[in-house]
Amino acid sequence: MYISGVGRTKFGNLSDNLQELAYEAILNALDDSNLDINEIGAIFVSNFLSGPLNGQLHLNSMISSLIPGINIPIIRVETACASSSVAFNQAIYCLQNYSNILIVGVEKMTGVGLLPTTDAISMAGDRTYDFPNGLIFPAAYALIAQQYMLKNNINHDILELVSYINHQNSRLNPLAHFYYKEVSKEMIKNAPMIASPLNLFDCSPISDGAVAVILSKNKTSDRDVKVMSSKIATDTISLTERINLTSFIATKIASKQAYKEAQITPADLDIIEIHDCFTISELIALEDLGICGASEVSELIKNGDILRDGPFPVNTDGGLKANGHPIGATGLAQIFEIVAQLRQETEKRQVDNPEIGLAQNIGGIGGTCGITILGV
């Protein structure tokens, strides 16, 4: 199976509404492919927050309204921040019945105020015990960061470097949330504390945006990118139910299965998209994905191994940290970047001749993980 078309909007604080964002991404994906809308057999819609933030559910029918006369099956998928990678995974299972399936992820998160947005995002965590006791996502990831830093004897400097690298990459991505913003090492170091040890620049922004991907059973052109594997795994919703706070077992399980299906090892990866909703997530993922061993992450980053010209380029688009995190579209944005890199269409941020890329998309605090491996 192949990805025959990709399209996205800019990410950021946008004036467009939910429908307009989805429409733009769909048009861009169709324009990027050799296909007509009438050749699409089904559509999967990825979204997390349209109900609480936009007062709009039944996105299946909303998407149908954008495409008059197309009465094909449309299915909405929600698994928190992993929604779009799971939608992509489920579309693969349905491809046996259709020649082409479109997956669109969309989120409109701005314009409703910080408190409603924070409350809505917390629905991806445990609302019975964690949230009422103050364990919202920044606090939860702060606990993880404390444990990780203590275990590996590192300080906040390494998280600052991760943030800085992602912001440098985003400055080369015209569609990124932080494309036009200069973020220095001093700004990152001196940023306001959110939940110790995480400060403002350890946290991904609240973004609007949409991405669409067309999945095809057969190759349609030389620009098509092969889907080598797509796997998902799940874990408990609360940190209180975890034995180990410094690793996400769902990532380990899904990536191990994906490597086996794709018949590759971590050493074969030429580009990696990591779900860095918080900077600590990037360090944990590098271990969980088998890129390096325990306690080796700090040196890997300090040595420049994750830079665009390093052996393991990470988040060349800026990652969630600086490309943006419109939740329902994030996993597809990672796929978009890998497809663009494998096609060698990313200009100034282009990695040298990549052949295989991996995307890790997390929902909640490691509660869901989608792993996608693409190749040429």
Contact 199, 193 (CB under 8 A): yes
* Biggest CA pair distance of the chain: 60
Contact 225, 213 (CB under 8 A): no
Whole-number Å distance between alpha carbons of 219 and 375: 13
From the candidates 81, 277, 292, 369, give the one annotated as an active-site residue.
81
Contact 9, 210 (CB under 8 A): yes
Q: Is 81 a catalytic residue?
A: yes
From the candidates 167, 177, 275, 325, give the one annotated as an active-site residue.
325
Contact 302, 161 (CB under 8 A): yes
Q: Where does residue 51 rank: exposed (0-12), middle (13-18), buried (19+ CB within 10 A)? A: middle
Whole-number Å distance between alpha carbons of 329 and 216: 20
Structure tokens at 126: 């445990």
Contact 217, 4 (CB under 8 A): no
DSSP H or E segment with residue 211: strand 209-216
Whole-number Å distance between alpha carbons of 100 and 40: 5
- Of 237, 327, 319, 320, nearest to 47 (Cα)? 327
DSSP H or E segment with residue 334: helix 330-342
Q: Which residues are marked as active site?
A: 81, 325
